[in-house]
A = this chain, B = another copy of it.
């Protein structure tokens, strides 16, 4: 995660750089507003941490200047002033968030993650197992990046097993999941779905049969 830190104070800058680097941010640190503006045009950062009270430009100038140039990246402002009218102004000027010094590094990191997360749009939580990935929300299954079209039952089946790969899932449990309460099945419907699923996934070994018990998903 590429982060631009705009901070003139050496002590604080170093502390923030270190603290955020430890938390998996890739920090680029500049000391002046002018540098911030040019740097943010040179490289595509994910997020900016901007201290007010820079030597050359007022921080709020930097802020509005960035926005005027069409920068859309999230900006978090650091301020010493706990002045509500000031902070309202900042937010309306285009800041996405602010923190008052002194602040907690964990919270700063969390706020930054939240900003970036929002900016990117939520990556939907995906289940994955080897080359198979399954997006529960969007009903999409990829095998080696290629979309695979599954029917509802097949999807349910795969999802149930992907919730716990490498583990044995009993027939009973799987039938319950796939057929909800719709009716008791007393045919081999489950086996048929397993068969079709195997075919669609393209590798029959991924779904192993545990004779007399159930199935296990084993990929990669």
Contacts and interface: CB of A to CB of B under 8 A. Distances in A.
Interface of A: 67-70, 72, 74, 84-85, 87-88, 91-92, 94-97, 104, 106-107, 109-111, 113-115, 118-119, 121-125, 137-140, 151-152, 164, 166-168, 210-213, 216
Given A88-B106, A97-B114, 6 more contacts: A70-B122, A74-B118, A115-B118, A124-B167, A137-B167, A139-B213
B139 A114 contact: no
12 contacts: A69-B137, A70-B122, A74-B118, A84-B106, A88-B104, A91-B110, A92-B113, A92-B114, A118-B118, A118-B119, A137-B167, A139-B210
Which 6 A-B residue pairs are closest in the complex by CB-CB distance? A91-B110, A88-B110, A70-B137, A72-B122, A91-B114, A84-B104
Question: Which one of A84, A91, A216 has the greatest number of beta carbons of chain B within 10 Å?
Answer: A91
Given A119-B118, A121-B164, A113 B91 contact: yes
Contacts of A106: 84-85, 88
A122 B67 contact: yes
Q: Which of A68, A74, A96, A212 has the most CB of B within 10 A?
A: A96
Given A74-B118, A97-B97, A122-B67, A137 B168 contact: yes
Nearest to A106: B88
Contacts of A213: 139
Nearest to A168: B138
Contacts of A168: 137-140
Given A137-B168, A167-B138, A124 B91 contact: no
A175 B69 CA distance: 24
Given A96-B114, A114-B97, A139-B168, A152 B211 contact: yes
A140 to B, nearest CB: 8
